[in-house]
Structure 1
Amino acid sequence: MLGAVEHSGAACRDPALPALAALPATAALPDPFVMADGQRLTRKADWACRRHEVSRQLQAYELGEKPAPVPGSVSGKLDGKTLTVTVSTGGRSISFNANVQLPSTGQAPYPAVIGIGRSFLNNAELLARGVAVIDFPNNDIADQQNGSSRNKGKFFELHPEAQGTGALVAWAWGVSRLVDALAQGAAPAIDARHLGVTGCSRNGKGALMAGALDERIALTIPQESGSGGSAAWRVSDAQKVAGQNVQTLRQIVTENVWFRSSFGEFSEAAARLPYDHHQVLALVAPRGLLVIENTAMEWLGNQSAWVSALAAREAWVALGVADGMGASQFSHPDHCRLPAEQSPEVLAFVDRFLKGTPAKTDIVRTDGKFAVDRQRWMPWSTPALK
């Protein structure tokens, strides 16, 4: 189920990408099993092209374009704990450094978890389990201090034509170039076939995009990623209307440069997006995905993230691998601290998808006591794909 290439649907037909005014408003979460031409999915073999359609829509309307790799343009060199990745194109070149922590147990080559910025999981537990931890320098690739950070970072030095692109997709591009270097053997002690990606809060949004847009990543764990991550724009709007203090599309585009500069046109029109973030989560299918959220953080769209996760999981159900996707919500006061109650769930997914050992990953639980109106949000049916 792990992809051998970054994007298996590259040869699929692109969907139409109408301007905002020509997009119909859809109150429910869009049906993930209907192709852009209206045909309903019946075969597992068609999932790659459905993923391609949603990926193109996501990049066109929300993120900005993720540049395709140029063969032979990436190299890597490990010096101690520092892996230097160099990328060249169009006569320009950039380098960035990723910190590599190897475990003292187990046997090389080791599976590894890439942390956007750094990992907020229990890294001591990961290392003790024989899993390496790699820190990815996302702010070096695309800055995210505030709205004035637009177009700053090494991604934009290498791709000056990408002005207006959001930081999240720039980070996803950078993680893919790191994976390229690892696949070439730049760090021989790392098993490039068993890589995970994680991050918390804003960096959790980046972790989701990295895993969604690169099929070589075996496991994706966005942690408390909230709006713009695991939460669905439409459901967050409904939470806001209900009087809750939730971050919506309208607000988030004014906060930072995570999204493409034109995404603000959807501030009052999230229902016109031809996709929502349940489909962004589903871009990971059938690979491993564990969504970690905190019900104490209303601002992050706690209920929205739960509804989105339930809707996304139907993609794994349709593909016959329901236990490949998990969702765990647990209330605690400290943002970006993984509580002891969720640590075993993380380790179960790590064991199964990174170490290849049996583990129970059929995890779908929340302490939020959310009433989910499936008829409102998921009025579509889930096919059993052949």
Structure 2
Amino acid sequence: MNRTLTIVGLSYCLLHLSLSTAISAPPDANYDEAKVPEYTLPDPLVAADGASVDDPAEWISKRRPEILELFKTHVYGRSPDAPKRLQYELTSIDRQALGGKATRKEIAIKLGDAPNAPSMNLLLYLPNDVSKPVPVFLGLNFKGNHTIHSDPGITLSEVWSRPSKGRAGEKKRGSEKSRGTSASRWPVETIIDRGYGLGTIYYGDIDPDFHDGFKNGVHPHHDKHESAERPADAWGSIAAWAWGLSRAMDYFERDDDVDQKKVAVLGHSRLGKTSLWAGATDPRFALVISNDSGCGGAALSRRRFGEKVKRINTSFPHWFCGNFDKYNDNEAALPVDQHMLIALIAPRPVYIASAAEDQWADPRGEFLSGLHADPVYRLLGTDGIATKEMPKVDQPSHSAISYHVRTGKHDLTAFDWGQYLDRADTIFQGSATPAK
């Protein structure tokens, strides 16, 4: 069978997308479907030796490891093993948080075996009126744990400032004024009322989000390079953030209040790229959610639509491994594309979400990644993606590969969360039941 995935011209118009013609684009961005180049996608079901993969066992033992290795070599880099032993400390607990409806825990998790290794601070809310253990949503946040809710009991995070005018980035404690400033992206009460827990970590605890030569965060504590020059396949920040999510999963396996078999990992934007890589590398995540992840996340690189590989590598040289620079304006040479990242998550359910006005993240390219991962999901016995056509705005399609494009801009909204909670209800089959 010839499974070559060739897209000729991609004459798709942006059907069903409510877009303004006044959208401003950076000079090097393409927002015109007519300018999407012809491209051929690597086939996830053709092995490196040219053999077709027609059996689930072959996928698991042969083809999946090949694809994972390609992503490590060319895109995200190689992450270290977990620390030899998990070190964590319960730093606070309130069993009557949020007016008594939740238990709030704060846990400091050491990110290395050395005494001076950094720690990340996990904020965990668990519903009180359900039987334990409970399923949990886990995601990194951008501005500190204290910004996700106005709860005065949340410890103020130490957050990184970006370097400016030759000054290095600095880490300072967040202010009371910043409490709850990101609450619109984290509907804590809604999540609790639906019977789920929520865990979140400030991503700067793991690695600061600026290019400092990998001197801060977890990298210097785990890099064991024999030469002074950093290898071209060494892990970047996205791989580090994903590695940190797996360390939170290590903790969940020791917390009797958490159902570690029912953990959904979620991320928005660059942290959506992170959640996908975490889901690809750590099969313990039962549901993987990408919200507006775009280039280097769910969007196909070969489409060269919105943000391109060169732009993301230029703006954020610390996110990916050094080898990814080879594909600046050279996406066709990539041995992988992002549909293969989605395929690495199979057969576990994945949810890809876009926003109609977020053309920088290429909504159609995000949908097409799900569509072209469908053969792997079906090979492994799932229903794959439920539609071959991009759904209309605000009309989600739920299946093993779920997708929606919602009204609005680049954000994580109540609409998005409503879909993720509904999907979790189906996958986890009402496991969060009222306590007797």
Common fold: TM-score over 0.5: yes
Letter in 2 for 1:96: M
* C-alpha contact 2:354 2:406 (8 A) present in aligned 1: yes
Alignment partner, residue 132 of structure 1: 197
Give the number of the structure whose residues are more often helix, by fraction: 1
Is residue 288 of structure 1 aligned with residue 349 of structure 2?
Answer: yes
Alignment partner, residue 292 of structure 2: 224
Is residue 109 of structure 1 aligned with residue 143 of structure 2?
Answer: no
* C-alpha contact 2:117 2:218 (8 A) present in aligned 1: no
Query: What is the Cα deviation at residue 134 of structure 1?
Result: 0.6
* C-alpha contact 1:253 1:264 (8 A) present in aligned 2: yes
Query: What is the Cα deviation at residue 330 of structure 1?
Result: 1.7
Query: What is the Cα deviation at residue 299 of structure 1?
Result: 0.9
For structure 2, the 5+ residue unaligned runs are 1-37, 94-104, 143-147, 149-184, 384-398
Alignment partner, residue 65 of structure 2: 52
Query: What is the Cα deviation at residue 67 of structure 1?
Result: 1.3
Partner of 1:98: helix, strand, or coil? strand
Partner of 1:102: helix, strand, or coil? strand
Alignment partner, residue 99 of structure 1: 123
Is residue 348 of structure 1 aligned with residue 422 of structure 2?
Answer: yes
Letter in 1 for 2:39: A
Partner of 1:303: helix, strand, or coil? helix
Is residue 65 of structure 1 aligned with residue 140 of structure 2?
Answer: no
Alignment partner, residue 402 of structure 2: 326
User: C-alpha separation between the residues in 2 aligned to 1:216 and 1:282?
Assistant: 16
User: C-alpha separation between the residues in 2 aligned to 1:157 and 1:74?
Assistant: 19
Query: What is the Cα deviation at residue 94 of structure 1?
Result: 3.5
- Deviation string 1:209-265 (CA, Å, 9 cap, x unpaired) is 111110000011110111111101002x1x3xxxxxx10001110111211133212
Q: What TM-score results when the alignment is normalised by the length of structure 2?
A: 0.68
* C-alpha contact 1:288 1:349 (8 A) present in aligned 2: no
Query: What is the Cα deviation at residue 92 of structure 1?
Result: 6.4
Query: What is the Cα deviation at residue 345 of structure 1?
Result: 2.6
User: C-alpha separation between the residues in 2 aligned to 1:270 and 1:150?
Assistant: 25
Query: What is the Cα deviation at residue 89 of structure 1?
Result: 4.3
- Deviation string 1:359-383 (CA, Å, 9 cap, x unpaired) is xxxxxxxxxxxxxxxxxxxxxxxxx
Larger radius of gyration between Structure 1 and Structure 2 = 2
Are residues 91 and 41 of structure 1, via their aligned partners in 2, closer, same or farther at CA, if it must alter by over 3 Å?
farther
Identify the match of residue 208 of structure 2 among 108, 130, 143: 143
User: C-alpha separation between the residues in 1 aligned to 2:208 and 2:39?
Assistant: 34
User: C-alpha separation between the residues in 1 aligned to 2:224 and 2:283?
Assistant: 26
User: C-alpha separation between the residues in 1 aligned to 2:213 and 2:294?
Assistant: 22
Are residues 150 and 129 of structure 1, via their aligned partners in 2, closer, same or farther at CA, if it must alter by over 3 Å?
farther
Query: What is the Cα deviation at residue 313 of structure 1?
Result: 2.6
User: C-alpha separation between the residues in 2 aligned to 1:220 and 1:319?
Assistant: 17
Count of aligned positions: 318
User: C-alpha separation between the residues in 2 aligned to 1:247 and 1:198?
Assistant: 21
Partner of 1:283: helix, strand, or coil? helix
CA-based RMSD: 2.3
Query: What is the Cα deviation at residue 278 of structure 1?
Result: 0.4
* C-alpha contact 1:151 1:165 (8 A) present in aligned 2: no
Alignment partner, residue 222 of structure 2: 159
Query: What is the Cα deviation at residue 37 of structure 1?
Result: 1.8
Alignment partner, residue 245 of structure 2: 175
Alignment partner, residue 29 of structure 1: 41
* C-alpha contact 2:187 2:414 (8 A) present in aligned 1: no
Query: What is the Cα deviation at residue 268 of structure 1?
Result: 2.2
Identity of aligned residues (%): 27
User: C-alpha separation between the residues in 2 aligned to 1:122 and 1:314?
Assistant: 35
Letter in 2 for 1:305: E
1:164-243 equivalence runs, <5 A: 165-183=235-253, 185=254, 187-235=255-303, 237=304, 239=305
